[in-house]
Amino acid sequence: MELLFTAMTIMLVAAGYLLIRRFRGLAAQCRKPMAQWLLHFVAANPGEQREMAQALVQESLKLAANMGVQVRATDLLGAASDPAALIDSWRAQLPDVMPATSLSTSPARTLGALMVIRQVQPQRFRQLMGLPATS
């Protein structure tokens, strides 16, 4: 009986740990508004920035795939394969591409997915944003 209680306790603690990690980990941070995510990104040290950028790129790629745009991380990042550099380039482009209200209200992974789509399929991006197609 005591062994069963111990095993159940260990399983509950492990399940709790996995749930907390899922809702408080790097992937969960990507559900925060982009403006808030960027503040954390800028304040982080280079190692944390790389981890945060990698998580955002992965989450953005998953969401872009759900929107019908399949792309691999290696194709997106290029030869440098530095996710933090990609996020820095997005950060510079965001004010010109997205409305200011989107930055403070839209999740980082949603805007990241749109930036992925913009980079690999500009016409699809324009369609998703409701912009007129250009020739």
**Closest listed residue to residue 38, CA positions, set 93, 80, 119, 79:** 93
The pLDDT score that the predictor gives to residue 72 is 85
Task: Please determine, for residue 23, whether its predicted confidence score (pLDDT) is greater than 60.
Answer: no
Count H helices and E strands in the chain, helices first: 9, 0
DSSP H stretches of helix in 30-107: 34-43, 46-66, 73-77, 83-97, 100-105
What share of the chain in percent tops pLDDT 70? 91
State pTM to two decimals. Answer: 0.76
The shares of helix, strand and coil residues in the chain, as percent rounded to the nearest 5, are: 80, 0, 20
26-81 pLDDT tens trace: 778 889 999 999 999 999 999 999 999 999 999 999 999 998 888 888 887 776 67
